[in-house]
């Protein structure tokens, strides 16, 4: 291969990675549904019920992301609230992501969380970018299901 071909290949790879990274920044609206749940009976959800969830990807100056999830939950008094979690991000392939909720940030009095591990594929449809796949919670929660997020371009 000549220098020009190598340079073009490197530039193309860099450009495609940049396009992928830029498409993640911002707010993603979504929902998840249970396929399996063996959590406490008062939290049992019908498998077809869609539960709202949002993700926010903040692009940092070092090109990494700070990611947060927002979903309905309860505080220790049993009142409904929005639970904000910190999310770990890992790109597993050119079209796949692994996201894992790792800590509750707000409210400080939230019930113990059932952190989700999300295995997502990224795709584009018209003017939407879509993250779609499966999720699971392990341990006491032992739940799993499908999850989907969309972001308008």
**C-alpha distance from residue 62 to each of 25, 58, 87, 101, 128 (Å):** 14, 11, 17, 21, 26
**15 has pLDDT over 80:** no
Q: How many CB atoms lie within 10 A of CB 116?
A: 23
Please write the tens of the pLDDT for every residue from 86-121: 999 999 999 999 999 999 999 988 887 789 999 999
Q: Mean pLDDT throughout 7-22?
A: 44
Compute the distance between CA of residue 86 and CA of residue 100 in angstroms, rounded to an integer.
8
Q: What is the dihedral of CA 102, 19, 28, 129, to 10 degrees?
A: -130
**Domains in the chain and their CATH numbers?**
25-152 (2.40.128.120)
Per-residue confidence band for 138, with pLDDT thresholds at 50, 70 and 90: confident
Per-residue confidence band for 3, with pLDDT thresholds at 50, 70 and 90: low
Compute the distance between CA of residue 60 and CA of residue 68 in angstroms, rounded to an integer.
13
Please write the tens of the pLDDT for every residue from 61-83: 999 999 999 999 888 888 999 99
**According to the model, what pLDDT value does residue 142 have?**
85
């Amino acid at each position: 291969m000549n220098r020009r071909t190598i340079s073009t290949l490197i530039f193309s790879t860099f450009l495609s990675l940049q396009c992928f990274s830029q498409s993640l920044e911002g707010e993603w609206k979504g929902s998840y549904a249970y396929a399996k749940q063996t959590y406490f009976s008062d939290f049992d959800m019908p498998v077809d019920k869609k539960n709202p969830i949002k993700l926010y990807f903040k692009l940092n100056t070092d090109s990494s992301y700070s990611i947060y999830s927002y979903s309905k939950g309860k505080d220790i008094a049993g009142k409904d609230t929005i639970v904000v979690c910190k999310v770990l991000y890992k790109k597993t392939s050119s079209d796949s992501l692994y996201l894992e909720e790792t800590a509750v940030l707000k409210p400080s009095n939230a019930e113990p969380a059932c952190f989700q591990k999300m295995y997502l594929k990224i795709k584009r449809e018209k003017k939407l970018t879509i993250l779609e796949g499966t999720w699971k919670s392990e341990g006491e929660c032992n739940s799993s299901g499908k999850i989907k997020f969309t972001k308008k371009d």
